Amino acid sequence: MFDAYQVRKQFPSLANQDSLIYLDSAATTQKPTAVIDAIKHYYQTQNANVHRGSHSLTANATSKFEAARKTVQAYIQAKSEKEVIWTRGATEAINLIAQTYARTNLQPGDEILVSEMEHHANIVPWQIVAQQTGATVVKVPIHKDCTFDMEAFNRLLSQKAKIVAVAHISNVTATRNPIEEIISLTHNVGAIAVIDGAQGIVHEQVNVSELDADFYLFSGHKLYAPTGIGVLYGKLDLLNAMPPWHGGGKMVEKVSFSGTTYSELPGKFEAGTPNIAGAIALAAAIKWLDSFSRIEIEQHIHRLQEMTYKVLCELEDIRVIGFQPQSSLISFIMEGVHHQDIATLLDQQGIAVRAGHHCAHPLMDALGLKGTVRISFGIYNTVEEVEKLILAIKKAIDML
């Protein structure tokens, strides 16, 4: 049986701070010893550049680096390892798509449909490329309960649409979008679907081949891996047709002043020295997660969420925003009280939560809010922590 108390011992940042209750995993997760050891082992015994040189150290580093790519390929069930591109994170992955596929293919009058609930990383890159090409970014609204407005989406979707960009799961309300239906409808009008999986990859086993998304992307640091490493999955034919984005070493076959030829995938999009340790550590995080039952992990997290939700609903002046059962986070406000004040009082009691707009200004505008308090659970959180959280919230309410 899954035991969060035993799992917690595998996280040095938590084990060394017994009083810390970390409830901000939607922002970034803490890192288990297995991941930390993978980084340490690389720098202590394998440190060398990859795809360069002829000595055994670089050959070994290259082998580990490409093995990590195969681990990710298997994890998301991509058809080819060439469909797995290393990036610095989800943000860079979306910018890569915008500045290669979108900038090459968009024309004046074309439309990019973007959900109102998106993180800024899935809005701003599309606005930039729209300005560059003459295309238009079209907002797809949400319902009052913070769910995707499928009826409005169907009205807005037309032959003008070339790209549809939506989150798998919202980072504010944990809304799980109907991405399967969205992708299917997108393809019906000849457009491509870009799925921001930064929150979704953590809580669902994703099969990109079956999902049929044209692009799916995520960050490692929300998946118990380090910061600075992410993954862009793209269909092979799309990636092959896209021009390079960054120029430099590794992404070329031959450079001369008369002309340059580029590397095949995935190297074409991986200029310069990559985050080698980060890629290896991401593979270690995936293997570590796979040592548990994902069903049991999610059942545990959902139990914590449900416990918290029930109490919040009973508290006077507390309003939960867009609650989605069986997810990992809860956003709430206290009427007449600034969200930052609540977070500060919780922090003073050793509880780390997120307060603010969560890089989702359009969603906040749609809800008529300046921000919320967000509680987000991870594999290491316990029932005892939830009980302490509830007491701390009640104390904060009494003080406010």
Residue 54 has pLDDT above 90, yes or no: no
Q: Please say which residue of 289, 318, 344 terminates a domain.
A: 289
Q: What pLDDT, in 10s, does the model give residues 128-143?
A: 999 999 999 999 999 9
At 275, the amino acid letter reads N
> Is residue 30, in this structure, part of any structural domain at all?
no
Q: Looking at the structure, do residues 278 and 224 belong to the same domain, yes or no?
A: yes
> Is residue 63, in this structure, part of any structural domain at all?
yes
At 328, the amino acid letter reads S
> Is residue 390, in this structure, part of any structural domain at all?
yes
Q: What is the pLDDT of residue 17?
A: 83
Q: Looking at the structure, do residues 249 and 303 belong to the same domain, yes or no?
A: no
Q: What is the pLDDT of residue 38?
A: 98
DSSP structure class, residue 220 = G
Kindly report the CATH number assigned to the domain that includes residue 363. Answer: 3.90.1150.10
Domain coverage including residue 245: 36-289
HEC string of 303-366? HHHHHHHHHHHHCCCEEEECCCCCCCEEEEEECCECHHHHHHHHHCCCEECEEECCCCHHHHHH
Alpha helices, H only, 9-115: 12-15, 33-41, 56-76, 90-97, 103-105
Q: What is the pLDDT of residue 400?
A: 84
Q: Looking at the structure, do residues 252 and 115 belong to the same domain, yes or no?
A: yes
Q: Looking at the structure, do residues 188 and 203 belong to the same domain, yes or no?
A: yes
> Is residue 233, in this structure, part of any structural domain at all?
yes
Q: Looking at the structure, do residues 105 and 213 belong to the same domain, yes or no?
A: yes
Q: What pLDDT, in 10s, does the model give residues 111-122?
A: 999 999 999 999
Give the DSSP H/E element, type plus range, for residue 183.
helix 179-188
For residues 196, 199, 205, 208, the Cα torsion angle rounded to the nearest 10 degrees is: 10
Q: What pLDDT, in 10s, does the model give residues 187-232?
A: 999 999 999 999 999 999 999 999 999 999 999 999 999 999 999 9
Catalytic residues: 359
Q: What is the pLDDT of residue 394?
A: 95
Q: Please say which residue of 254, 289, 324 terminates a domain.
A: 289
> Is residue 205, in this structure, part of any structural domain at all?
yes
Q: What is the pLDDT of residue 325?
A: 78
Q: What is the pLDDT of residue 283?
A: 98
Out of 151-165, 250-264, 287-301, which region has the weakest mean confidence (pLDDT)? 250-264
> Is residue 9, in this structure, part of any structural domain at all?
yes
Residue 53 has pLDDT above 80, yes or no: no
Q: Please say which residue of 289, 321, 348 terminates a domain.
A: 289
The rounded percent of the chain whose pLDDT value lies above 70 is 100
Q: What is the pLDDT of residue 18?
A: 78
Q: What is the pLDDT of residue 323?
A: 85
